[in-house]
Amino acid sequence: MSPIPTPDQRDGVQPAATAQERLRSFCIIAHIDHGKSTLADRMLQATGVVQPRDMRAQYLDRMDIERERGITIKSQAVRMPWAVTGADGTAATYALNMIDTPGHVDFSYEVSRSLAACEGAVLLVDAAQGIQAQTLANLYLAIEGDLAIIPVLNKIDLPAAEPQRHAEEIASLIGCDTDDVLQVSGKTGQGVPELLDRIVEAVPPPSGVPDAPARAMIFDSVYDTYRGVVTYVRVVDGALRPRERIEMLSTGAVHDLLEIGVISPEPVPTQGLGPGEVGYLITGVKDVRQSKVGDTVTSALRPATEPLAGYQEPRPMVFSGLFPVDGSDFPALREALDKLKLNDAALTYEPETSVALGFGFRCGYLGLLHLEIIRERLEREFGLDIISTAPSVVYEVTTEDGTTHTVTNPSEFPEGRIAGVREPVVRATILTPSEYVGTVMELCQARRGAMSGMDYLSETRVEMHYTLPLAEIVFDFFDALKSRTRGYASLDYEPDGSQQADLVKVDILLNGDRVDAFSAIVHKEAAYSYGVMMTRRLKELIPRQQFEVPVQAAVGSRVISRETIRALRKDMLAKCYGGDVTRKRKLLEKQKEGKKRMKAIGRVDVPQEAFVAALGADTPTGRDR
């Protein structure tokens, strides 16, 4: 068996469209850090699409932030040729479309989009750690999509690997024999050729209709400064050719198809894409809003009438305000968010105004890691200085007159008497070694969790199910879980409606004026500790003024915590030596009256550094960390 060399782009060679029965589309799904990207590297080497001189670790992780953090954020599609020798001795070349997916729960939306573009999934499990929470979550997504599952144990070269034990876990989970679980090493390449053969054998070819009107699903897009929007598609029916006119079914926009090709793993122009093929389209369009993920692309001359099913719209779980440090950067921030939205369909945003911070955007994210990544990409890729407000979830607040308000920002919390507040809850799955069951239960109870079930996957591994308020887990729950279980527990969660909760809004007042950027919605029991924490922090961060500044935390009209920033005082008695004491008192009274007048008309200027420090994503929820 020998890999087929990739087309030489320097000679301008264009690969011919592959016959439909020779196509195989699959993705690699796994928990965080189970070796998806490393296994993808070995596949790229085994199939010969990346020359040894060009090879680097995590080849498909293109962003600097991915390589620094060691995680995959964006799914990457790549086409690889693979030759298989049949029983009669004849060799057949197959085209394998591989998609490397993220493992973190915040990027599960990327995984769901990738699964919709495949017929098979390689379920990768670390031979030392075994099945984890995200392994199960991704497996269920693949089963719902009716994909062929290929179970694989990775990292079998590790001294701590227990392949036989974990193969039995996988076999009992998906109902196969332990012999069907392949064993590979993404580090050494052991077992990779056998895995590629299994993919050809087990994954069915795409089932599109070649002579039907063209229909292609947009599953990702990126913005190129020189070429405009680059759209990644999977052709379902018919075929797309270069230089033909294409139409976007949802918007009705018509464009000329300037270039079409495949990613192998660099862009390679082709003479077209047929049913089941995955590739890219370039139309020269600069407007990022004209290429929507989930839209259907068809031929303008012979258009399809029925669009493809598309994707379920992602629902933001966490909201935070993004404001430019320099107010003049607001247009640049808008343009940067437009371009990021093209590349990250799960990001939502709308303009908002803050009295303290000026003009900015209220952004919705899938989780805290998603928030951190977006903020870091804005700073790195677009050179923006950003302040992000404390993360908040979506609440439904009902007032006594029966009106219901949707609150994504504490400043939207209605004034007056509140009849009830509903907060979002999630259904969490926690996998942990059995000796940490008590510790995990204690943590979940402290976060107002309710246990809904517990299953023993084996003698040493337990799967625990909890219903938890989303606000309790988006901040530091994952860190607390890892630290209390020495890193062995894993977490996955999905939305599960809402519940009634005893929540209040805590306002921060500076010199009697409310600062909306510091407001927060917290549980009634945590309100006091949040107020104490914020007043102490602001006392340290805000510089002293010419007058005394009270820093207060209040729930409604009731002050629950207070700190005082002492005034800067000039030594009025420096020139007074000897003489009557009444003269000294007169000078001090005069200074006191001046301070009192200044306090009545004075305004406290909060420096941007104080906002950045007080409103970081690590702002505690009022709980001891």
Q: 228-242 pLDDT, tens per residue?
A: 788 888 888 888 888
CA separation for the pair 615, 618 (Å, rounded): 8
For residue 490, which of 35, 132, 137, 140 has the smallest C-alpha distance? 132
- The predicted model gives 423-443 an average pLDDT of 88
Assign domain 504-614 one CATH number from 3.40.640.10, 3.60.20.30, 2.60.120.10, 3.30.70.2570: 3.30.70.2570
pLDDT at 345: 66
Q: Give the separation between CA 448 and CA 429, rounded to whole angstroms.
A: 15
Tell me if 94 sits within 8 A of 82, measured CB to CB. Answer: yes
Confidence check: pLDDT of 593 > 80: no
**Given a cut of 60, is residue 600 above it in pLDDT?**
no
What is the CATH number assigned to the segment(s) 318-388?
3.30.70.870
Q: What is the pLDDT averaged over residues 49-70?
A: 57
Residues of the chain with CATH 3.30.70.2570: 504-614
Strands 120-126 and 23-30: parallel
Please state, in angstroms and rounded to a whole number, the distance separating the CA atoms of residues 243 and 531: 63
Residue 598 has pLDDT above 60, yes or no: no
pLDDT grade for 460, boundaries at 50, 70 and 90:
confident
The average pLDDT across 43-68 equals 62
**pLDDT value for 622:** 40
Which pLDDT value is given to residue 182?
A: 84
Listed in order, the ranges of the chain carrying CATH 3.30.70.240 are: 396-501
> Averaging pLDDT over each range in 132-141, 516-525, 527-536, 602-611, which range is the top one?
527-536
**How many angstroms separate the Cα of 622 from the Cα of each of 187, 505, 526?**
44, 13, 6
Q: Which of 333-337, 342-346, 447-451 has the lowest mean pLDDT?
A: 342-346
- Classified as helix, coil or strand, 561 is strand
Partner residues linked to 392 by β-bridges:
319
Kindly write down the DSSP assignment for every residue of 266-284, as one continuous string.
SEEE-S-B-TT-EEEEE--
Tell me the residue type at 516.
D
Whether pLDDT at 434 is above 80: yes
pLDDT classification of 607: cutoffs 50, 70, 90: low
pLDDT band at 58 (very low <50, low <70, confident <90, very high): low
Residue 67 has pLDDT above 70, yes or no: no
CATH 2.40.30.10 placement within the chain: 215-299
Average pLDDT, stretch 230-258?
82
Q: Domain 9-202 belongs to what topology?
A: Rossmann fold (3.40.50)
User: Which of 236-240, 249-253, 498-502 is predicted least confidently?
Assistant: 249-253
Average confidence (pLDDT) over 271-295: 76
pLDDT of residue 343: 66
**Of 557, 563, 548, 551, nearest in space to 600 by CA:** 548
pLDDT value at residue 250: 73
Which of 78-92, 172-186, 435-449 bottoms out in mean pLDDT, i.e. has the lowest?
78-92
Percentage of the chain lying above the pLDDT 90 cut:
0
User: What confidence tier does 617 reach under pLDDT thresholds 50, 70, 90?
Assistant: very low
625 pLDDT higher than 70? no
Residue 282 DSSP SS3: strand
What is the helix (H) or strand (E) element at residue 37, kind and residue range?
helix 36-47
pTM exceeds cut of 0.85: no
What pLDDT is attached to residue 548? Answer: 77
Check residue 502 and give its pLDDT. 86
- 537 vs 13: which has the higher pLDDT: 537
CA–CA dist 198, 93 (Å, integer): 14
pLDDT band for position 25 (cuts 50, 70, 90): confident
DSSP designation for 331: H
Q: Answer whether residue 472 shows pLDDT above 60.
A: yes
| Domain with residues 215-299, CATH architecture | Beta Barrel (2.40)
**Residue 194 above 80 pLDDT?**
yes
Residue 285 clears pLDDT 80, i.e. is over it: no
User: Residue 251: is its pLDDT beyond 80?
Assistant: no
pLDDT at 6: 40
Residue range(s) occupied by CATH 3.40.50.300 in the chain: 9-202
Q: Does 261 or 616 have the greater pLDDT score?
A: 261
User: What is the CA angle 472-423-313, rounded to 5?
Assistant: 95
What the block records as the tokens of 501 is: 């909760």
Report the C-alpha gap between 214 and 299 in whole angstroms: 6
Of 40, 90, 608, 107, which is closest to residue 358 (Cα–Cα)?
Answer: 608
The yes-or-no verdict on residue 288 having pLDDT over 70 is no
Q: Which residue has the tokens 């590790």?
A: 158
In the predicted structure, residue 601 carries a pLDDT above the cut 50: no
Question: Of the segments 35-39, 72-76, 297-301, 456-460, which one has the largest average pLDDT value?
Answer: 297-301
Percent of the chain clearing pLDDT 70 (strictly above)? 77
Residues of the chain with CATH 3.30.70.870: 318-388
As assigned by CATH, the class of the 396-501 domain is alpha beta
Contacts 24+ apart (CB under 8 A), 3-11: 3/46, 3/47, 3/48, 3/81, 3/82, 3/83, 4/47, 4/48, 4/81, 4/82, 4/83, 4/93, 5/48, 5/81, 6/48, 6/49, 6/81, 6/264, 6/268, 7/264, 7/268, 9/266, 9/268
Which residues belong to the annotated binding site?
Answer: 33-38, 154-157
The gap from C-alpha 7 to its chain's centroid, in whole angstroms, comes to: 35
pLDDT of residue 60: 56
Question: In the prediction, which pLDDT does 75 show?
Answer: 55
Mean pLDDT on 177-200: 83
Contact 503, 522 (CB under 8 A): yes
- pLDDT grade for 615, boundaries at 50, 70 and 90: low
User: Which pLDDT does position 270 carry in this prediction?
Assistant: 84
Which of 20-34, 53-67, 360-374, 555-569 shows the lowest mean pLDDT across its residues?
53-67
Q: Is the pLDDT of residue 243 over 60?
A: yes
What is the Cα–Cα distance from 117 to 437, expressed in whole angstroms? 38
Binding-site residue numbers for GTP are 33-38, 154-157
CA-CA-CA-CA torsion sign (232, 233, 239, 245)? negative
Q: Is the pLDDT of residue 8 over 50?
A: no
Residue 59: pLDDT band (50, 70, 90) is low
Give the pLDDT of residue 599: 47
What was the pLDDT predicted at 13?
Answer: 35
How much is the pLDDT for 577? 65
Using CA atoms of 505, 373, 615, 316 in order, give the dihedral in degrees to the nearest 10: -10
For residues 198 and 150, the answer to whether their CB atoms sit within 8 Å is: yes
Instruction: Give the type of residue at 137.
Output: A
